Amino acid sequence: MALPSTDTSRLDNTLAVIRTLRDQGPVARTDLGKLNGISSATVTSISAELLQQKLIRERPPETLRANGRGRPKTLIELAPNAACVVCIKLSINEIQLVVGDFSGQVRHSEHHAVPTLTLSADDLEALLEEKISAVCAQQLNGFQRLAGICLAVQGVVSSQSGAIIWSPALSFRNAPISARLAERFHCSVLLENDANCIARVLATHPDYADCPNLAVIMLGYGIGMSVLINGVPFLGANGSAAEFGHSKYQPEGALCACGRRGCIEAYASDYALYRAAVDHLALPSGDSAHPSEEQMQALTQLALQGNPIAKRIYAEAGRALGYGIANVLALFNPDLVLITGSGVRGFDAMQPALRSAIDDALVAELMGTTRIESCAWDRDMTCMGGIAMALHATDAETLLARS
Amino acid sequence: MALPSTDTSRLDNTLAVIRTLRDQGPVARTDLGKLNGISSATVTSISAELLQQKLIRERPPETLRANGRGRPKTLIELAPNAACVVCIKLSINEIQLVVGDFSGQVRHSEHHAVPTLTLSADDLEALLEEKISAVCAQQLNGFQRLAGICLAVQGVVSSQSGAIIWSPALSFRNAPISARLAERFHCSVLLENDANCIARVLATHPDYADCPNLAVIMLGYGIGMSVLINGVPFLGANGSAAEFGHSKYQPEGALCACGRRGCIEAYASDYALYRAAVDHLALPSGDSAHPSEEQMQALTQLALQGNPIAKRIYAEAGRALGYGIANVLALFNPDLVLITGSGVRGFDAMQPALRSAIDDALVAELMGTTRIESCAWDRDMTCMGGIAMALHATDAETLLARS
C-alpha cells in the first residue's frame, strides 16, 4: 500500500537544504545530499526551484579554490537579501535592535538607553513600533521581505500566547505584545526568553555537539537559565521553566529583586554582588540601581587580587551558585552545565567555593559525569540566537511567499 | 513518488491496537479504528492476524449487553495467557514479585523479607534468579511465553546499561544486573526507578490526562520523584534525573541517608520524621532503622490530634517539602505536582506549612497555574507500572515470536 503524497517530505527536504546552507555556509550540491540523506536527483530539483525563487545563488567561480584535481565543484549559498529578520533584546534600561539577513548574518545593530521600568505596556508597544519602523526604513531597502521579528526578553514569557508574563526590566506584568507587532508589521513575531536565545546558539556550536542535555546559566544583572533536553529548549507547562535564578539557596536568606528571600540571584547576580560590596569597598562611581560593567570589573579585580572583603563576597556567591547547580544536577542530570553571560567575569573568583559547595551538597553518584564549565562572554549571543530562531520559524513562510 | 514500504506503519498500527486493548479492555473493531485513526479494512486485517496468532480473542457473545437497537457488536480483547511478565520491586529489606498477564492484569503477588543491605551484588543476582525461577515454576504453566522482567528499584538506575548505580536498599554500588537475568531467563530485562513505574500508572490515568507535564513525588522511607514531560518520563543524561529527595532545603542542615546534609529527604521522609520524634514521643515499638507503618501511623495521629512536638515535626517536614517543591516549580514548571507514596499518610499534617513555604519562596508568576495535590496510597502502583512498562517494551518481540 503506497502512501498518498510526498509533499510534506518535499517541504521538509527543502527546509533541510536551507538550514544546512545557513549553518554551514556555501556547500556543493553533492555534499548537501550527503549531509541530509537526500538523493542527488532531489537535491538538483530542489536547488533548481530555490534558484528560480532567488532564495539561493551559485557562488561566483572566481572565489573557488581548486586545491585538488579535476573540476572545482560549484557551491551554492543562501541569497542573503532574500529576506531579513529583526531581533529586539529588551533588558533593564536598554533596548538593542539587530537586523539579520536570510543567511543568518548580523547586518545592523543599534542600542538605545530607555528607562524601561517607567514604561507602561502601551508605552512599550509604541516604542517598539517606532524603533522597528525606523530600523526598517533605514535598513530594509536591499531586502525583499521582512520575514519575522524576535523579541528576546529577560524574564518569564509565554511563547504560545505571545505575552510577557514577568520581566525584571518592566514594572507591568502579563502584557500580550506579539499580536500588535504582528499586525503592524505583517509578519510572524516570536517572543522568547533571552537565555533560550543564547542556548540556541550554544546548542548548535560544535564544542557542545556531544551535550544534548545542556543547562546554560546566564549570569548578569539577574540570573537566567535555559535547559535543552535532547537538544530542544525545555519550556515547561507555560513557559516559565528553568527559572534557576529564583530557585532557593537559603530559606529566609538575602532579599531578591523578585521580592522573595533566599533566591540564588540574591547572592550571585551583579546587583547582589554590588549590594554586598558598595558600603565596604571603593568602587568607581555609577548608578547604584544598575551597577555598571566598570564597577563589576573593579569588584572582580579586587577579589582576584586577594581583597578579603571582595573574596568573601565572591565565595558566598560561588557557594550559593554551587548549591543551586547541585539542585540542577539532582533534578535535571544534564551532560553539561555551562555558565556564561556578562557575570562570567567573576567566575574565577567564585569557582573554588562553587566546586566545594557541589561536593558538600551531592554524593558522587548524583554528581555523575556532568561537566561544569564556563564560556567567555566575548559577544552577546542573545540577538544571534534570536535571529536564528526567527529565521527558523519563518523559513516555510518565506518559501511559500516565493512559490 | 511513492514511498517504498509500509511495513513499519503496519507494525505501528498493530502495536497501537494491542495497546488500546490493554488500556481500554474489550473494544469493538470499529472503535479500535476510530481510537487509532486506522481504516476499518486495516483493523480487520490486523485483528484477523492477531486472532490467528492467538494474541487476541473474540469476547464470548453471552457476556455482551445489547443495551441499544440492532445487533450487538462483537468485542475483541487481548488473550491474557498469550504472554506474561514478572515485575520485581526491590526496596529496603523487602522484595516483591508480581506476575502480570498479557492484558496487564496482576495474576500473582508475593513478598519476601530479605536483609537487602547485607547482600553483595552476587548474592542479589543469585537471590533474584532463585525467586524468579520459583515464581516461574509455580505460576507460568498457563502462559505461552515469559516476555520480560522489570526490576523496579529505589534509587538511581541506568536503564540503558542495566546497572543499579545507587540504591538506599543496597550497600554496593554500580552493579550491572540486567544482563545476567536476561541471559538466565532468555527475555528482555528492564531496569527502572520505582518512582518512574508509579508515574507510568498515573500518566495513563484519566484524572491526569490534562497534565502532560507531571511531577510525581513519592514519600516513604526515602523520597523519590518522577517527572513526565509531555507524558514521557524524563530520565536525564544518564538516568539520575528527578532525584528530588536529594535536592536541598538547607545548606549544612539535617543529615541525610545519602551522607550529605540538608536534603529534602532528611526532613520529610519516614526515617527523618521518626528520628525527630523517637526520643520525645511514645510510639509503638519496632525496628529503629526502618520505622514501621504502625509507628508512622501513630506519629501522624499525634500530629493531627494536636500534640505540639509531633505538630512541630510535621510542620518542619512540610516546610522543607514546600521549599523543595518551589524549586521544582521554578525549574520544571509542571502542570501538576502529585504527592503520593505511603508517606502521604502525613500529608494533612504537613500541608499548611508546605503551602505557606511555597508562598514564601515563589512569586505568583512562578507559582503559575501549577496544581499541588496528593493521591491516596491505597495500593502500591510500583509493580502495576513495572508490568505495564515490561509489556510495552516487549510487545514487538511477542508479535515477532508469533509470526
Distance from CA of A393 to the nearest CA of B (A): 21
pLDDT of residue A401: 85
User: Lowest-pLDDT range, A72-81, B285-294, B372-381?
Assistant: B285-294
Distance from CA of A225 to the nearest CA of B (A): 9
Dihedral class, residue B303 (left if φ above 0, else alpha if ψ from -120 to 50, else beta) = alpha
Distances (CA, A) of B253 to A245, A264, B256, B290, B352: 22, 17, 9, 22, 22
- Dihedral sign, CA of A321, A326, A330, A336? positive
Residue among B3, B260, B330 whose CB faces A247 most closely:
B330
Q: Report pLDDT for A202.
A: 86
Contacts of B156 in chain A (CB under 8 A): 365-366
Q: Is the dihedral of CA A37, A40, A41, A45 positive or negative?
A: positive
B279 burial (CB, 10 Å; 0-12 / 13-18 / 19+) is exposed
Of the candidates B171, B172, B165, B84, the one whose C-alpha atom is nearest the C-alpha of residue B132 is B84
Q: What pLDDT does B7 receive?
A: 62
Q: Are A89 and A194 in contact (CB under 8 A)?
A: yes
- Which of B237, B247, B249 lies at the smallest CB-CB distance from A331? B247
The angle that helices B178-185 and B121-139 make with each other, rounded to 10 degrees, is 30
Considering only CA atoms, which of B328, B339, B315 is closest in space to residue B368?
Answer: B328
- Highest average pLDDT, of A394-398, B226-230, B320-324, comes from B320-324
Contact call for B213 and A236, based on CB within 8 A: yes
Give every CB contact of residue B140 below 8 A, 6+ residues apart in sequence.
B84, B99, B146
CATH of domain B82-199+381-401: 3.30.420.40
Answer yes or no: are the C-beta atoms of B39 and B33 closer than 8 Å.
yes
Whether residue B398 is predicted with pLDDT greater than 70 in this model: the reply is yes
Distance of alpha carbon B366 from alpha carbon B368, whole angstroms? 5
Report d(CA A168, CA A156) in Å as an integer.
Answer: 9
* Distance separating alpha carbons of residues B321 and B344, to the nearest angstrom: 12
Which bin fits B39, alpha (ψ -120 to 50), beta or left (φ > 0)?
Answer: beta
What digits encode the pLDDT tens for the residues B27-42? 999 899 999 889 999 9
| Spatial separation of the C-alpha atoms in residues A228 and B222, rounded to whole Å | 29
3-state secondary structure of A96: strand
When computed from its CA atoms, the radius of gyration of chain A, rounded to whole angstroms, is: 23
Distance from CA of B241 to the nearest CA of A (A): 5
- Please determine whether the domains at A82-199+381-401 and A207-374 fall in the same fold group of CATH: yes
Pick the residue of A3, A247, A319 with the most B CBs within 10 A to test the interface with B by mutation.
A247
Which residue blocks in A286-380 are alpha helix, DSSP H?
Answer: 293-304, 308-332, 347-361, 364-367
Contact call for A369 and B237, based on CB within 8 A: yes
- CA-CA distance, A253 to A266, in Å (whole number)? 8
Tell me if B237 and A173 make a contact (CB, 8 A cut-off).
no
pTM of the model: 0.87
Chain B contacts of A240, Cβ < 8 Å?
Answer: 330, 333, 365-366, 368
B1: confidence class by pLDDT, cuts 50, 70, 90 = very low
Q: Which of A37, A42, A147, A116 is nearest to A386 (CA)?
A: A147
Burial class (CB in 10 A: 0-12, 13-18, 19+), A282: exposed
Q: Distance (Å) from the C-alpha of residue A22 to the closest C-alpha of chain B?
A: 28
Q: What is the pLDDT of residue A1?
A: 36
Q: Which residues make beta-bridge pairs with A363?
A: none
A229 contact residues in B (CB cutoff 8 A): 229, 234
Residue B240 has its nearest CB partner, among A252, A323, A333, at A333
The segments of chain A whose pLDDT lies below 50 read: 1-5, 63-64
Q: For residue B255, what is the DSSP state?
A: B
- Residue B228, pLDDT above cutoff 70: yes
Q: What is the mean pLDDT of residues B388-393?
A: 95
Rounded Cα–Cα distance for residues B219 and B311 (Å):
18
Side-chain-side CA neighbours of residue B370 (13 Å): 34
Which of B237, B251, B334 is closest, CB to CB, to A323? B251
* Chain A residues with beta carbon closer than 8 angstroms to that of B260: 360-363
Cell numbers found for residue A180: 500588535
Residue A4 grid coordinates: 498518498
Q: Phi and psi of A45, rounded to 5°?
A: -65, -45
Is residue A51 within 8 A of residue A64, CB to CB? The reply is no
| pLDDT of amino acid B378 | 80
- The conformation of residue A374, written as its DSSP 8-state character, comes to E
Strand A163-166 with A175-176, pairing: antiparallel
Nearest residue to B104 (alpha-carbon basis) of B391, B378, B383, B379: B391
Q: Measuring CA to CA, how many Å separate B37 from each of A350, B28, B31, B41, B159?
A: 56, 14, 10, 12, 32
Interchain pair A363, B260: CB under 8 A: yes
Q: Report how far residue B344's alpha carbon sits from residue B84's, in angstroms, rounded to the nearest whole number.
A: 32
* Beta-carbon separation of B156 and A365 below 8 A: yes
- B370/A237 CB distance under 8 A: yes
10 Å CB burial of residue A1 (0-12, 13-18, 19+) is exposed
Strand residues in B114-239 grouped as ranges (E): 146-153, 156-158, 163-166, 175-176, 188-193, 214-219, 223-229, 232-233
Chain A hits for B323, Cβ within 8 Å: 248, 251
- Which residues in chain B have their CB less than 8 angstroms from residue A248's CB? 323, 326-327, 361
Beta bridge partners of B339: B217, B374
pLDDT at position B4: 38
- B242/A6 CB distance under 8 A: no
Handedness of CA A353, A354, A359, A364 (dihedral sign): negative
Residue B224 confidence class, pLDDT cut points 50, 70, 90: very high
Q: Which candidate, B385, B389, B383, B356, places its Cα nearest to that of B372?
A: B356
Cα A52 to chain center, whole Å? 33
Instruction: Give the span between the Cα atoms of A50 and B66, in whole angstroms.
Output: 61
* Chain B positions in Cβ-Cβ contact with residue A213 (cut-off 8 Å): 236-237
Q: Between A241, A335, A365, which is nearest B333 by CB?
A: A241
Query: For B258-269, what is each residue's pLDDT tens digit?
Result: 999 999 999 999
Q: Do B236 and A333 touch (CB under 8 A)?
A: yes
User: Does residue B148 contact residue B162 with C-beta atoms inside 8 Å?
Assistant: no
| C-alpha pair distances (Å), B22 with each of A141, B55, B204, B388 | 62, 12, 12, 9
Q: What order of strands is seen across the sheet that includes strand B232-233?
A: B232-233, B223-229, B214-219, B336-340, B371-374
Cell of B46: 490486523
Inter-chain contacts counted by CB atoms under 8 A, chains A and B = 162
> Whole-angstrom Cα distance, residue A50 to residue B299?
73
Average pLDDT of the residues of chain B: 90
How close A3 comes to chain B (CA, Å)? 6
Pairing of the two strands B84-91 and B94-101? antiparallel
Complex confidence, ipTM: 0.86
- Which of A230, A333, A356, A370 to substitute to test the interface with B, most B CBs within 10 Å? A333
The amino acid at A118: T
Assign B238 a pLDDT band (cuts: 50, 70, 90): confident
* Domain boundaries, given as residue ranges, for chain B: 12-40+50-57+74-78, 82-199+381-401, 207-374
Task: Enter the CATH code of domain A207-374.
Answer: 3.30.420.40
| Cell triple for A207 | 564544542
Secondary structure of chain B: what % helix, strand, coil (to 5)? Answer: 45, 20, 35
B226 to chain A: closest CA residue: A331
The maximal CA–CA distance of chain B, rounded, in angstroms, is 79
Q: Among A156, A238, A244, whose Cβ lies nearest the Cβ of B331?
A: A244
Closest CA of chain B from A315, distance in Å: 15
Q: What is the pLDDT of residue B5?
A: 42
Q: How far is CA A84 from the centre of its chain?
A: 18
